Amino acid sequence: MLNHELDRLFQALADPTRRGLVERLTRGPASVSELAAPLPITLAAVVQHLQALEACGLVRTEKVGRVRTCRIEPAGLRAAEDWLRERRTAWERKLDRLADVLDEEE
């Protein structure tokens, strides 16, 4: 994944409302109205949040008639997981090397 795509992904996830929408969609598809119902914001604001999530590949929407249904896009979540896993692996290696050095000094 290109850096600017990853930047957009994490920028989208930085917002608590968007994280809540992603969390809800991990339980299954939902209409925009269903997603908006429990939130203290306007339907238009929910649509803007969904557009940001769709732009970075985390959510896919489909309109059938007057109903827009949203789904989580697993590939978008995998990109974030892969990036985090790479960072974690790198830090684990560094910490293992540090532990080895400290053990040698004893």
Nearest to 52 by CA among 15, 78, 83: 15
Per-residue CA distances from 13 to 17, 25, 52, 78 (Å): 9, 14, 10, 13
Per-residue pLDDT of the chain (106 residues; tens, 9 = 90+): 567 888 899 999 999 999 999 999 999 999 999 999 999 999 999 999 999 999 999 999 999 999 999 999 998 888 889 989 998 888 888 888 888 888 887 7
Phi, psi of 59 (to 5 degrees): -135, 145
Q: What is the pLDDT of residue 1?
A: 53
Q: CA–CA separation, 11 vs 5, rounded Å?
A: 10
Q: What is the pLDDT of residue 33?
A: 95
The pTM score is 0.79
Nearest to 31 by CA among 61, 64, 73, 68: 68
Mode of pairing for the β-strands spanning 67-72 and 59-64: antiparallel
